[in-house]
Amino acid sequence: MSGKAAWGWLLVLFLPASPAWDEELARTTFADYYQAPSVAVVASVPPYALPLEPAKLSNWAALSQPGYGRYFDLGRIEWLIANNGFGVMASSAGDDMVEPYKLLKQLNIPILVTTDTLLDLYHVQFDETLRDIEERDFYGAMLALTRALGADAIEQEGKQEGDLGEAARR
């Protein structure tokens, strides 16, 4: 069964309810469709000793040019790069996580995308999806429920006396 979503098609699978879910069956059934590729990788990153000399780095001179000063304040992170082999600095892009990567690509700077970046992007997209669902599907129902509960509370206030009437009023 599938349904049309705002971003494309969404496939919904309905699994039979079973008191004894057979994990082994599920594992072997799905595994039948996957064939792991053979991978032969020999890691060969030349070692380097800290501290580094930033001036000897391959793209340090290019990034130190006057035009790049508006993007990077290398003076603030030079010590970090020399002593740690890397440096982290704030971006002027604010909450936009994609814009700095576009800039790095445009400036031909090697990019390292970490798993936390991908997980954060997924989290942001998931939050937006939930917000859209709440606004599109739940808002009307919650508004109707709130109005119905308010009307019932007003009715109960008129019918009850003492503490019960006061509780309904609040």
pLDDT tens profile 140-162: 888 999 999 888 888 877 887 78
In 3D, which of 134, 111, 110, 113 has the Cα closest to residue 122?
113
5 backbone dihedrals φ, ψ, rounded to 5°: -110, 170
Judge whether 9 lies within some domain: no
Based on the structure, what is the number of domains in the chain?
Answer: 2
Prediction pTM value: 0.44
Q: How far apart are the first and last CA of the chain?
A: 46
Share of the chain above pLDDT 70, in %: 80
- 19-39: per-residue pLDDT in tens? 455 666 666 666 677 788 898
Domain extent, residue 78, equals 54-112
Token pair 């997924």 is found at 122
Task: Clarify whether residues 61 and 73 are in a common domain.
Answer: yes
Per-residue model confidence (pLDDT) at position 162: 81
Do 72 and 66 contact (CB within 8 A), yes or no? no
Task: Clarify whether residues 100 and 139 are in a common domain.
Answer: no
